[in-house]
C-alpha cells in the first residue's frame, strides 16, 4: 500500500516537473479536480486520441466520426434520464464538514474486508507452500469465509437500497458498520441525499429570456440526436457506428486521484447501431476488439481485466468495464455497454421525430439497438503514463528515471544533439532536424553534458537520441541511442528516417491493434 502511494506521488510530481500536467489556474492556488495539459502532455494526449480515432474511424469502413457541440437542447437530458437519474448519493460529516459519496464509503469498507481476507490467504500460502490449495482455503477457513461473506452482504444490501432509492437504509448501513469519516474519525453523519452531477449554465443575454442549459455529462447523447442525420447523409447501413471524442463535465462529489476523476474531462465514445436481438453478439465482439486495442500498446497483459456488471444501469442489458491496474489498484478505464434501444426510443418520444432504420433485407423499420464503447481520454493518459514511468538502477549503481512510453505515443520522437556547441556540429544537427521535422516531432538540445541530455529525454519518453560528433563531418554518420536499452549504434544520416519510422509508424501499431 505504501509502495503504491509512493509510486502514485512520483507519477503526479513527474507529470508536473516534466511539463505533462499542471493544476488548472495554479497561480491562484488551483481549482479542485481540474487540470491543464502542458507542452508534453498535450502531445501525448493528442497521440492517444489519434490512435483511438484511427482505430475506430479509419480502420472501419462502417464507422464514421462526428464532433457535436457541448451545449445541447435541454430536453436531451430529460430524455436520456440524466435530469432525473444522474445522481450520486452524498453524505456529509457534521464534524469535519467533509462531503463523501455514501456508496464509496461503503465500498471502501468492503474493500478493507477483502484486504483482510487476502492477508490471511497470503499467510497460509506462505505456510503451506506448494501444497496450498487457494480455493479450498477460501471456502473453508472460518476467518476468510467470515470476511468475504460479510463483504458480499454489505455490498448487496447497499445495491438493493440504492436501487430502491432507500437512502435511509444507506445511512443505517453506514451507522451499523460504524464507518467513520476518514479525515476526522467522527461518526456524526447527516442524512444521505441524492446529488445531480450535471453542471448547469444559461444561454441568452437577458435574465428573462435565458434558457437553462447543462454542460454535457457524456458525449454519447450528441451521437444519438444525430443518428438520423448521419445515417441518411452517410447512407449508412446497419450495423454501423458513430464515433466522437470531446469534453464532458461532471460535478463529481469527491474528485480525487489526480486525472482519474476530474470535473472536466474528455471522452472517446463510439455508438454501434445494430439489429434488435443481435446486440449481445456485437457486445461480445466489441469487448474483444477493445481489449485488443489496449493490448496493442504493450503495457502488459496482466495490467487489464474485465469486470462484468451484475447491477445494470436503467438503459443497459449487459455491461462490462475494462479495468486497468493504476498505481492505486485495478479501476475502470473503459466501459462497454449494450444500451438496448433506450436512448433512440427516448429521443423519439421527446422530440416526436422518427429515429429508425429501414432494413431492406428484413423489409421493415425498427429502432436500432446500441452497443457503446466509452473510454476516458484522461484515464487512458494516466494508464499509459503511470505504467511507463520507471526507475532503474544501472550497472554502475546510478539511478535512471525513464518514461517507457509506446514510441507511437511519445511526445517527441527523436532528439538531435550536437556533442558540443562548436566546430560546426550544431549546424549539422540543425540540418538533420530540419529534414526529420517533416515526418516526426523532433527536438534540438545543445545544453549540458551529453549524459544529462540523454536523461532529460529519457524522462519525457523520447525513444531516440541522435548525437552528432566530430566524425560525422567526415563519415556522414551519427550515433543513435535507444531509450529502453540505452544501446548505441552508429548509422548513416540518410537511414535515420527509416529507422525511426519502423518504431513510431502509426500504421504499424494500428496493424497490431486489429
Ligand X SMILES: Nc1ncnc2c1ncn2[C@@H]1O[C@H](COP(=O)(O)OP(=O)(O)OP(=O)(O)O)[C@@H](O)[C@H]1O
Question: Please, what's the b/e burial string for 162-200 (b: 16 or more CB within 10 A of its CB; e: otherwise)?
Answer: beeeebebbbebbeebebbbeeeeeeebeebeebbebee
- Which residue in the set 86, 147, 189, 265 belongs to the binding site for ligand X (CB under 6 A)? 265
The reply on whether position 384 binds ligand X by CB under 6 A is no
| Nearer to ligand X (CB atom), residue 141 or residue 257 | 257
For the annotated binding site, the residues are 101, 218, 250-252, 260-269, 332-333, 372-379
Residues 199-218 that bind ligand X (CB under 6 A): 218
Shortest distance (Å) from residue 239 CB to ligand X:
22
Looking at 120-128, 184-192, 375-383, 386-394, which segment touches ligand X (CB under 6 A)? 375-383
For the annotated binding site for substrate, the residues are 101, 218, 265-269, 372-376
The reply on whether position 379 binds ligand X by CB under 6 A is yes
For the annotated binding site for ATP, the residues are 250-252, 260-265, 332-333, 376-379
Place of cell 429570456: 209
Shortest distance (Å) from residue 13 CB to ligand X:
20
# of chain residues touching ligand X (CB under 6 A) = 16
Shortest distance (Å) from residue 316 CB to ligand X:
10
- Strand order of the sheet with strand 264-274? 63-66, 240-249, 264-274, 369-376, 329-340, 318-326, 304-308
How is 62-82 classified by DSSP, letter by letter?
TEEEE---SB--THHHHHTTH
The reply on whether position 334 binds ligand X by CB under 6 A is yes
- CA angle (107 as vertex; 101, 108 as ends), nearest 5: 90
Looking at 110-118, 371-379, 388-396, 477-485, which segment touches ligand X (CB under 6 A)? 371-379
Shortest distance (Å) from residue 250 CB to ligand X:
5
| Nearer to ligand X (CB atom), residue 265 or residue 282 | 265
Closest CA to 306 of 327, 328, 284: 284
The reply on whether position 223 binds ligand X by CB under 6 A is no
The reply on whether position 103 binds ligand X by CB under 6 A is no
Shortest distance (Å) from residue 314 CB to ligand X:
13
Residue pair 442/430 in contact by the 8 Å Cβ criterion: no
Shortest distance (Å) from residue 322 CB to ligand X:
8
| Nearer to ligand X (CB atom), residue 82 or residue 453 | 82
Element (H, E) at 364: strand 364-366
Residue pair 158/103 in contact by the 8 Å Cβ criterion: yes
- Which residue in the set 250, 294, 453, 481 belongs to the binding site for ligand X (CB under 6 A)? 250
Q: Which burial class, exposed, middle or buried, applies to 482 when counting CB atoms under 10 A from its CB (0-12, 13-18, 19+)?
A: middle
Residues 266-285 that bind ligand X (CB under 6 A): 267
| Nearer to ligand X (CB atom), residue 252 or residue 439 | 252
Looking at 13-21, 36-44, 157-165, 373-381, which segment touches ligand X (CB under 6 A)? 373-381
Residue pair 199/214 in contact by the 8 Å Cβ criterion: yes
| Nearer to ligand X (CB atom), residue 267 or residue 296 | 267
Cα distance between residue 478 and residue 484, in whole Å: 19
Shortest distance (Å) from residue 196 CB to ligand X:
14
Chain position whose Cβ is nearest to ligand X? 376
DSSP 367: P
The reply on whether position 335 binds ligand X by CB under 6 A is yes
Looking at 202-210, 333-341, 385-393, 423-431, which segment touches ligand X (CB under 6 A)? 333-341
- Which residue in the set 225, 291, 375, 428 belongs to the binding site for ligand X (CB under 6 A)? 375
- Which residue in the set 279, 325, 341, 378 belongs to the binding site for ligand X (CB under 6 A)? 378
- Which residue in the set 332, 359, 435, 439 belongs to the binding site for ligand X (CB under 6 A)? 332
Shortest distance (Å) from residue 260 CB to ligand X:
6
The reply on whether position 244 binds ligand X by CB under 6 A is no
| Nearer to ligand X (CB atom), residue 238 or residue 383 | 383
Cα distance between residue 470 and residue 430, in whole Å: 15
Q: Is 337 left (phi over 0), alpha (psi -120 to 50) or beta?
A: beta
Which distant-in-sequence residues (6+ apart) come within 8 Å of 159 by Cβ?
310, 311
Which distant-in-sequence residues (6+ apart) come within 8 Å of 322 by Cβ?
287, 290, 291, 294, 304, 305, 306, 332, 333, 334, 335, 336
The reply on whether position 374 binds ligand X by CB under 6 A is yes
Cα distance between residue 170 and residue 109, in whole Å: 13
Cα distance between residue 149 and residue 113, in whole Å: 9
The reply on whether position 252 binds ligand X by CB under 6 A is yes
Residue pair 343/223 in contact by the 8 Å Cβ criterion: no
Per the structure block, which three cell numbers stand in for 184? 476526522
Shortest distance (Å) from residue 265 CB to ligand X:
4
Cα distance between residue 111 and residue 331, in whole Å: 13
Interface positions with ligand X (CB under 6 A): 218, 250, 252, 261-262, 265, 267, 332-335, 374-376, 378-379
Amino acid at each position: 500500500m505504501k509502495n503504491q502511494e509512493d509510486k502514485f506521488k512520483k507519477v503526479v510530481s513527474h507529470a508536473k516537473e516534466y511539463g505533462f500536467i499542471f493544476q488548472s489556474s495554479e497561480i491562484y492556488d488551483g481549482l479542485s479536480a481540474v487540470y491543464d495539459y502542458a507542452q508534453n502532455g498535450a502531445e501525448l494526449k493528442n497521440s492517444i486520441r489519434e490512435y483511438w480515432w484511427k482505430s475506430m474511424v479509419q480502420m472501419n469502413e462502417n464507422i464514421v466520426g462526428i464532433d457535436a457541440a457541448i451545449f445541447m437542447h435541454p430536453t436531451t437530458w430529460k430524455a436520456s434520464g440524466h435530469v432525473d437519474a444522474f445522481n450520486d448519493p452524498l453524505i456529509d460529516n457534521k464534524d469535519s464538514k467533509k462531503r463523501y459519496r455514501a456508496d464509496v464509503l461503503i465500498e471502501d469498507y468492503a474493500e478493507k474486508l477483502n484486504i483482510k481476507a487476502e492477508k490471511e490467504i497470503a499467510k497460509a500460502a506462505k505456510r503451506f507452500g506448494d501444497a496450498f490449495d487457494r480455493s479450498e482455503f477460501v471456502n473453508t477457513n472460518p476467518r476468510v469465509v467470515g470476511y468475504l461473506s460479510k463483504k458480499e452482504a454489505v455490498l448487496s444490501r447497499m445495491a438493493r437500497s440504492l436501487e430502491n432509492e432507500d437512502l435511509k437504509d444507506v445511512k443505517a448501513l453506514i451507522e451499523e458498520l460504524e464507518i467513520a469519516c476518514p479525515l476526522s474519525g467522527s461518526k456524526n453523519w447527516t442524512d444521505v441525499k441524492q446529488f445531480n452531477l450535471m453542471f448547469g449554465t444559461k444561454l441568452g443575454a437577458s435574465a428573462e429570456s435565458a434558457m437553462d442549459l447543462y454542460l454535457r455529462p457524456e458525449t454519447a447523447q450528441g451521437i444519438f440526436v444525430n443518428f438520423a442525420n448521419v445515417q441518411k447523409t452517410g447512407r449508412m447501413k446497419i450495423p454501423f457506428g458513430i464515433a466522437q471524442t470531446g469534453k464532458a463535465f461532471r460535478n463529481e462529489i469527491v474528485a480525487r486521484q489526480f486525472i482519474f476523476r476530474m470535473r472536466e474531462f474528455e471522452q472517446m465514445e463510439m455508438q454501434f447501431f445494430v439489429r434488435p436481438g443481435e446486440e449481445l453478439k456485437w457486445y461480445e465482439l466489441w469487448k474483444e476488439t477493445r481489449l485488443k486495442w489496449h493490448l496493442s500498446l504493450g503495457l502488459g497483459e496482466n495490467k487489464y481485466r474485465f469486470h462484468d456488471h451484475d447491477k445494470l444501469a436503467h438503459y443497459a442489458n449487459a455491461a462490462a468495464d475494462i479495468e486497468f491496474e493504476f498505481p492505486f489498484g485495478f479501476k475502470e478505464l473503459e466501459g462497454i455497454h449494450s444500451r438496448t434501444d433506450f436512448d433512440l426510443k427516448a429521443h423519439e418520444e421527446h422530440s416526436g421525430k422518427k429515429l429508425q432504420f429501414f432494413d431492406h433485407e428484413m423489409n421493415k423499420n425498427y429502432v436500432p439497438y446500441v452497443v457503446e464503447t466509452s473510454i476516458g481520454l484522461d484515464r487512458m493518459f494516466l494508464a499509459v503514463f503511470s505504467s511507463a514511468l520507471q526507475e532503474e538502477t544501472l550497472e554502475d549503481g546510478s539511478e535512471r528515471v525513464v518514461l517507457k512510453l509506446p514510441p507511437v505515443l511519445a511526445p517527441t520522437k527523436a532528439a538531435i544533439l550536437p556533442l558540443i556547441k562548436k566546430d560546426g556540429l550544431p549546424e549539422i544537427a540543425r540540418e538533420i532536424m530540419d529534414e526529420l521535422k517533416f515526418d516526426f516531432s523532433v527536438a534540438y538540445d545543445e545544453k549540458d553534458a551529453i549524459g544529462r541530455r540523454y536523461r532529460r529525454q529519457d524522462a519525457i519518453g523520447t525513444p531516440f537520441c541522435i548525437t552528432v560528433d566530430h566524425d560525422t563531418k567526415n563519415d556522414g554518420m551519427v550515433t543513435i541511442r535507444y531509450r529502453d536499452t540505452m544501446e548505441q549504434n552508429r548509422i548513416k544520416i540518410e537511414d535515420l528516417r527509416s529507422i525511426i519510422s519502423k518504431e513510431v509508424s502509426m500504421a504499424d501499431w494500428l496493424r497490431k491493434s486489429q
